[in-house]
Amino acid sequence: MHDIYAWQQAIWQKLTQKRQLRGHALLLKGKQGIGKYQFARHFAKALLCTAPTTEQEACGKCLSCGWFEQQAHPNFFQIMPEALAAGSSDSGEKEGSEEKSNSAAAKKNASKQISIEQIRKLTEFVYMTGHQNGYKIILIYPAESMNSAAANALLKKLEEPPADVLFLLVTHQAQHLLPTIRSRCQQIAMPIPDVQSSIDWLKQQHVSDPETSLAAASFSPLAALAFEQGGHAAQHDQFIQQIGNPSRLDPLVLAEAMQPVNLSLVVSWLQKWCYDLVSYRTTGRNRYYLKQLVAIQALSGQIDLPECITFTRALNSKQKLSHHPLNPRLFLEELLIAYRVLMNRR
């Protein structure tokens, strides 16, 4: 199957056994970087195709498929945050796109939330007659980025859905969606490939060090590939080198160097580093930064374990705030200063 990853084939077959779907809303949920967004688009394209293959794949040749590839299908409506839409093309794998900042100037002021105005634009689309009386499909990604007003506006549409309208909600964090939205969707847990399958796939993509890349990307293969191709490897290496030597860490300089990188991504690097410090101290093993074992060994023996655990837990709250900081540079400076204080405390 082209465009469907090996680990998605079973769920694809289950969903496409019948062209007539049950329900009007699907919620594709799972960790980031496993291909949920591409799967949703491929599924939408197949449903809209007028001449699907015997495997229920889109034919890629009909007028409908051509419209879809040109992002001009009259029966398809996609909603995502402006910042994400500005970062990469619709045909790319956006689950790893936080690694990229190709249009930093455009993204700087773009919203990272889905607004109520975007949801309101659905009204005309939802109630118009579909082309050739087929499905009208609405893809919302990532669904958890809807602000409160947008989520409530969507809920009203889910409560009274018009016929032949399918909502495809894709989420990394289903628990952050309104319970009433979740209850109105058929929830589908997207499969996660095992480590060896992920490594094999990354080797096929010519990733030079798949084991290390996969571990650093929280074992999400597409995130690992995006990191390899995304252009932030130098900043990542600089960041890890600096926090791995806290006595020489300059928080202000490092925060400045990280400005081209998505803030939540940088926070995730610090989260995984601190996790490895605690993990090595308590179990003798690190999970994410395999090549930095020597530095982790040395630092883990020096930390105040309860304080490091507290700091690591606090990073979870900081990660949520990192999506909407008032001052991203100041936000990161404060985190790095707190880390340096923690690590230099004897």
ω into residue 142 within 30 of 0, thus cis?
Answer: yes
98 pLDDT more than 50: no
Minimal CA–CA distance to 74: which of 20, 19, 143, 124? Answer: 124
Q: Is residue 172 part of a domain?
A: yes
Query: In which band, very low, low, confident or very high, does the pLDDT at 16 lie, cut at 50, 70 and 90?
Result: confident
Among 13-27, 161-175, 271-285, where is mean pLDDT lowest?
Answer: 13-27
Same domain for 36 and 134: yes
Give the CATH number of the domain where residue 281 resides.
1.20.272.10
User: Is 164 among the domain residues?
Assistant: yes
The whole-angstrom separation of Cα 64 and Cα 153 is 29
225-241 pLDDT, tens digit per residue, is: 987 887 678 899 999 99
**Strand 186-189 to 25-29 pairing:** parallel
In a domain, 214, yes or no: no
Are 166 and 21 contacting, i.e. CB atoms less than 8 angstroms apart? yes
- What is the predicted pLDDT for the residue at 145? 94
Would residue 100 be called left, alpha or beta, if left means φ above 0 and alpha means ψ between -120 and 50 degrees?
beta
pLDDT at 199: 95
pLDDT at 68 > cutoff 90: yes
22 and 139 part of one domain = yes
Range of the domain at 307: 232-343
Determine the Cα–Cα distance for residues 211 and 177; give it in Å rounded to an integer: 33
What gap in Å lies between CA 251 and CA 225, rounded to an integer?
29
Q: Within this chain, do residues 52 and 180 fall inside the same structural domain, yes or no? A: yes
Regarding whether 185 and 246 lie in a shared domain, the answer is: no
Output the pLDDT for position 108.
Answer: 55
Q: What's the CATH code of the domain at 171?
A: 3.40.50.300
Q: Rounded to 5 degrees, what angle do the CA atoms 263, 269, 270 make?
A: 95
Task: Give me the half-sphere count of Cα atoms (radius 13 Å) on the Cβ side of residue 48.
Answer: 30
